[in-house]
C-alpha cells in the first residue's frame, strides 16, 4: 500500500473543497443578480411627488400616540397629523388660528374663553365632534391615575391643578363648561395672555372616549386604542399602519371638516434614530425631509446644495447649570468670571456651525414678542479681576471641579472647548465627566455635580416657559439657586394681563438672573434640516411645529 505524500493529500483536499465552493458561489451569485436587477428605479420621493405621498424622517420611534400620555417632539409631530385641538398653529408662525373652534370670545378680564365649535367637525369614524368630547377629554387628561406628564399645560384653567393633584375630586368644579353641543366655555384661574398658544399643544387635543373605553380603562396608560386597527382621531389624517422601528403611515381622512383643502394623500413617518442614516436616506431619494442634518454636513450642503437645506432658529437654549451650593461656585463673582470667560462666538462658528446664535441671556429672542434687554458681557480682564476678588488671583488655589455632560459628540466638543477657554483665560482647570443619559439625569437631579450641561425648549411662545424654570424649588431648576425677588417678579407677571407690565417684570427678573448667573447661557438652538424643493407649505418655525393641512408636493420642472 502506497502512502500518499502530503502534497497529494492537499491536492485532493483543494480540489474537492474548491469544487463544492465554486458551485455554491455560482448559485449565490445568480441569486444576487436576480434579486438586485439592474434597472434604474424611480425614487420613493419621485413617486411620492406624483402621488402626494410625503416621506418624513421623523427622528425616532414614537413611544405612543395618545395625546394625553405622549411626550416629546417625535410623538407630537405625528399627532399633528392625527388630531386637531380647538385652536391650530399657523403653519408659518404658529400663531393661534381657528381649529375645531371656528371662533372664540374672550371676556374683558381675560378669564373666560368661549369657543364656538364647527358643526361639521367629525371623528374619523364619522361620529360628530362636540363640546362634550372636549369636556370628557380634558377630564381624562387631568385624571391623576392617568399620569399625564403634560397635565401642567392645563393648569391655567380654574381648579385644574387641584383636580389633577387630587385635592378635589369633583370635575364639575374645574373651569370647563359645556354650554351646548357646539359651545365650550373655559374659565381660567388667572389671566393668561398666552392661553391660546398654550392650547395648540397636544395635551389639549380631544380623544374619542368611546374608542378609548372599548380597549381598556380610560386612565390606563397601556390602553391599546392608539393601534392602527383601533384608532379614531379627528385630524386631517388617520393612522393606517404602525410597524415599530420601520414606519408609520397616515392617510388622508375623509371625515375631516376641511378635507377638501388637504392635498396630501399619505404621510410616511420613518423612525430615523441616527441623523447620518437619515441623511443617506435623503440622498438616496427615500425621504422628502429630515428631522435634522448631521452637524458636519451642514456646511457641505450650504456650500454645494443650498436649495436642499434650511436653517431656522428654535425656541430653545443651550446652557450650563451651576451648582450654587458647592464652593467656590457659591460665590457670585466666580460664577460671573466663568460666564465671562467663554467665547461663544468661537463655539457657534467653529464647533456647532449650524447658524446658532450666541446666548447672553436665557430667553431666546422673539419669544412671544419678548426680547431680553439685560445681558452679561464677555470680558476676560473683568473675569480675571472678579476671580481675584473672590480669592483666586490668576486662578491660584482654585479647587478641583468638574464639568458634567451626557455623552454626545457635540456636547463633548463644546465641553472640551470651554475647558480650554477657562484654562487659557482664567488659569482654572476643570475636568470633564461624561455620563450615559439616565445616569447624567440622576446625577443632575441629586445635585451631584459642579457644572452640568442643560438645554431647555419652550413649550409655548411666551417668556414664562423659560423664566419660571429658575423659580425657587422649580422641578427643572436643579441648581440650588433661589432668589425671592426673582420669584416675586415671575409671580407678578403671571397675575397681570397687561403685556407691558408682564414684560417689564420679566425683564427685571431676567436681569437678576444674569447678574447672579446660576446658569451659563451658551447659545440659542437652531434647526437645520434637509428638504426637497418639491415640498411646499412645510415651514420651519420657532416652535418647530409643522402642521400638514396645507402641505403639498410639487416638483419643479427643471429640478428633475
Partner 1 sequence: MDEILPAKQVAAAAPVAGKSLGQSAWERLRKNKLALGGGLLILLLSIVCFSAPVLSKVVGHSYQEQNLALGPVAPNADHWLGTDRLGRDLFVRLLYGGRISLMVGLSATFVSLTIGVFYGAISGFLGGTVDRVMMRIVDIMYALPFTIFVILLMVFFGRNIVLLFVAIGAVEWLTMARIVRGQVLSLKQQEFIDAARILGARKRSIIFRHMIPNLLGPVIVYATLTIPGVMLLEAFLSFLGLGVQPPASSWGLLIKEGAEVMEEYPWLLAFPGSALAITLFCLNFLGDGLRDALDVRGSK
Partner 2 sequence: MIRFIARRILETIPVLLIIATATFFMMRAAPGGPFDADKRMSKEVRANIEKHYGLDKPLWRQYVSYLGNLVHGDLGPSFKYPNRSVNELIADAFPVSLELGLWSLVVAVFFGLLAGLIASLKQNTALDYIPMSIAMLGICVPTFVMGPLMISSFALNHDWFNATGWFFPRDRILPSLTLGAYYAAYIARLSRAGMLEVLNQDFIRTARAKGASESNIVVRHSLRIALRPVVSFLGPAVAGLLTGSFIVETIFQVPGLGRFFVTSAFNRDYTMVMGTVLFYATLIIFLNLVVDIVQVWLNPKLRFE
Residues 27-86 that bind partner 2 (CB under 8 A): 28, 32, 35-38, 40-41, 61, 63-64, 66, 69, 71
Q: The C-alpha cell of 37 is what?
A: 436587477
Q: Does 296 bind partner 2 (CB under 8 A)?
A: no
415/330 Cα distance (integer angstroms): 21
Q: CB 350 → partner 1: shortest distance, Å?
A: 4
Q: In the complex, which residues of this chain contact partner 1 (CB under 8 A)?
A: 276, 294, 296-297, 300, 346-347, 350-351, 407, 409, 412-413, 415-417, 419-420, 431-436, 439
- To partner 1, the closest distance from the beta carbon of 437 in angstroms equals 10
Q: Which of residues 420-459 bind partner 2 (CB under 8 A)?
A: 436-439, 441-443, 445, 454-455
* Distance in Å from the first CA to the final CA of the chain: 76
8 A C-beta contact, residue 470 and residue 477: yes
* C-alpha cell read off for 318: 443651550
Cα–Cα distance measured from residue 213 to residue 224, given in angstroms and rounded to the nearest whole number: 10
Site for partner 2 in 134-163 (CB under 8 A): 144-149, 151-152
Residue 366 — left, alpha, or beta (φ > 0 → left; ψ -120 to 50 → alpha)?
left
CA-based radius of gyration for the chain: 28
Q: Which does 367 bind (CB under 5 to 8 A by kind): partner 1, partner 2, none?
A: none
- Count of residues engaged in binding partner 2, rule: CB under 8 A: 78
HSE at residue 386, side-chain half, CA atoms within 13 A, is 22
Beta carbon of residue 341, minimum distance to partner 2 (angstroms, whole number): 26
165 binds partner 2 per the rule CB under 8 A: yes
| Beta-strand runs (E) in 253-337 | 266-270, 309-322
Q: Is the peptide bond prior to 328 cis by the omega test (within 30 degrees of 0)? A: yes
- Residues 263-282 close enough to bind partner 2 by CB under 8 A: 270-274, 276-277, 280-281
Residue among 179 and 439 whose Cβ is closer to partner 1: 439
Q: Are 404 and 449 in contact (CB under 8 A)?
A: yes
With a CB cutoff of 8 Å and minimum separation 6, the contacts of 396 are 427
CA separation (Å) from 508 to 206, 476, 492, 502, 513? 38, 21, 11, 10, 9
Question: Shortest distance, CB of residue 320 to partner 1, whole angstroms?
Answer: 16
Q: Which is nearer to partner 1, 151 or 425 (CB)?
A: 425
* Residue 304 interacting with partner 2 (CB under 8 A): no
What's the closest the beta carbon of residue 194 comes to partner 2, in angstroms?
A: 18
Identity of the residue, 102 or 273, whose beta carbon is nearer to partner 1 in the bound complex: 273
Tell me the window of 96-104, 222-230, 423-431, 528-536 that interacts with partner 2 (CB under 8 A): 222-230
Residues contacting 215, CB < 8 A, separation 6+: 223, 224, 225, 230
Minimal distance, residue 91 CB to partner 1, in Å = 33
Report the nearest approach of partner 2 to the CB of residue 283 (Å).
Answer: 6
How far is it, in rounded angstroms, from Cα 502 to Cα 518? 23
- Report in angstroms how near the CB of residue 274 gets to partner 2 at its nearest: 5
Query: How far apart are alpha carbons 48 and 32 in whole angstroms?
Result: 28
Fill in the per-residue mask, 473 to 512: x = in contact with partner 2 (CB under 8 A), - = not in contact. --xx-x----------------------------------
Nearer Cβ to partner 2 (247/263): 247
Q: Which of residues 382-411 bind partner 2 (CB under 8 A)?
A: none
> Residue 39 or 397: which CB sits closer to partner 2?
39
Amino acid at each position: 500500500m502506497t502512502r500518499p505524500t502530503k502534497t497529494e493529500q492537499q491536492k485532493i483536499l483543494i480540489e474537492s473543497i474548491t469544487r463544492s465552493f465554486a458551485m455554491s458561489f455560482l448559485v449565490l451569485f445568480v441569486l444576487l443578480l436576480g434579486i438586485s436587477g439592474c434597472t434604474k428605479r424611480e425614487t420613493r420621493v419621485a413617486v411620492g411627488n406624483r402621488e402626494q405621498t410625503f416621506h418624513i424622517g421623523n427622528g425616532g420611534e414614537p413611544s405612543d400616540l395618545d395625546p394625553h400620555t405622549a411626550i416629546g417632539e417625535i410623538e407630537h409631530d405625528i399627532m399633528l397629523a392625527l388630531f386637531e385641538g380647538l385652536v391650530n398653529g399657523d403653519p408659518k408662525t404658529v400663531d393661534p388660528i381657528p381649529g375645531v373652534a371656528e371662533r372664540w370670545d374672550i371676556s374683558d378680564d381675560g378669564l373666560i374663553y368661549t369657543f364656538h365649535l364647527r358643526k361639521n367637525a367629525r371623528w374619523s369614524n364619522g361620529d360628530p365632534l362636540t363640546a362634550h368630547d372636549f369636556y370628557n377629554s380634558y377630564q381624562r387628561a387631568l385624571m391623576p391615575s392617568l399620569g399625564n406628564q403634560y397635565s401642567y399645560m392645563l393648569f391655567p384653567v380654574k381648579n385644574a391643578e387641584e383636580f389633577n393633584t387630587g385635592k378635589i375630586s369633583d370635575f364639575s368644579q374645574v373651569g370647563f363648561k359645556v354650554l351646548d353641543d357646539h359651545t365650550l366655555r373655559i374659565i381660567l384661574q388667572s389671566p393668561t395672555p398666552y392661553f391660546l398658544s398654550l392650547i395648540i399643544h397636544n395635551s389639549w387635543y380631544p380623544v374619542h372616549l368611546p374608542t378609548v373605553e372599548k380597549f381598556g380603562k380610560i386612565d390606563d396608560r397601556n390602553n391599546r386604542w392608539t393601534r392602527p386597527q383601533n384608532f379614531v382621531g379627528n385630524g386631517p389624517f388617520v393612522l393606517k399602519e404602525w410597524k415599530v422601528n420601520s414606519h408609520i403611515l397616515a392617510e388622508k381622512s375623509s371625515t375631516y371638516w376641511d378635507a377638501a383643502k388637504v392635498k396630501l394623500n399619505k404621510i410616511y413617518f420613518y423612525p430615523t434614530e441616527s441623523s447620518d442614516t437619515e441623511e443617506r436616506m435623503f440622498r438616496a431619494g427615500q425621504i422628502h425631509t429630515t428631522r435634522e442634518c448631521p452637524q458636519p454636513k451642514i456646511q457641505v450642503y450650504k456650500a454645494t446644495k443650498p436649495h436642499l437645506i434650511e436653517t431656522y432658529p428654535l425656541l430653545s437654549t443651550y446652557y450650563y447649570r451651576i451648582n450654587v451650593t458647592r464652593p467656590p461656585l457659591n460665590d457670585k463673582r466666580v460664577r460671573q468670571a466663568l460666564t465671562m470667560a467663554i467665547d461663544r462666538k468661537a463655539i457657534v462658528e467653529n464647533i456647532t456651525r449650524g447658524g446658532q446664535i450666541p446666548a447672553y441671556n436665557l430667553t431666546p429672542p422673539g419669544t412671544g414678542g419678548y426680547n431680553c434687554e439685560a445681558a452679561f458681557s464677555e470680558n476676560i480682564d473683568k473675569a480675571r479681576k472678579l476671580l481675584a476678588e473672590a480669592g483666586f488671583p490668576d486662578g491660584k488655589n482654585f479647587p478641583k471641579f468638574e464639568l458634567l455632560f451626557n455623552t454626545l459628540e457635540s456636547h463633548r466638543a463644546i465641553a472640551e472647548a470651554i475647558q480650554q477657554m477657562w484654562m487659557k483665560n482664567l488659569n482654572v482647570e476643570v475636568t470633564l465627566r461624561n455620563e450615559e443619559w439616565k445616569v447624567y439625569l440622576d446625577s443632575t437631579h441629586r445635585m451631584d455635580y459642579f457644572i452640568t450641561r442643560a438645554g431647555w425648549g419652550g413649550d409655548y411662545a411666551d417668556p414664562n416657559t423659560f423664566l419660571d424654570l429658575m423659580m425657587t424649588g422649580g422641578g427643572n431648576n436643579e441648581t440650588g439657586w433661589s432668589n425671592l425677588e426673582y420669584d416675586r417678579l415671575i409671580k407678578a407677571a403671571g397675575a397681570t394681563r397687561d403685556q407691558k407690565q408682564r414684560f417689564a417684570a420679566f425683564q427685571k427678573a431676567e436681569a437678576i438672573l444674569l447678574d447672579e448667573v446660576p446658569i451659563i447661557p451658551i447659545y440659542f438652538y437652531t434647526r437645520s434640516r434637509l428638504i426637497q424643493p418639491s415640498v411646499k407649505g412645510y415651514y420651519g418655525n420657532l416652535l418647530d411645529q409643522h402642521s400638514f393641512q396645507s402641505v403639498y408636493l410639487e416638483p419643479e420642472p427643471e429640478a428633475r
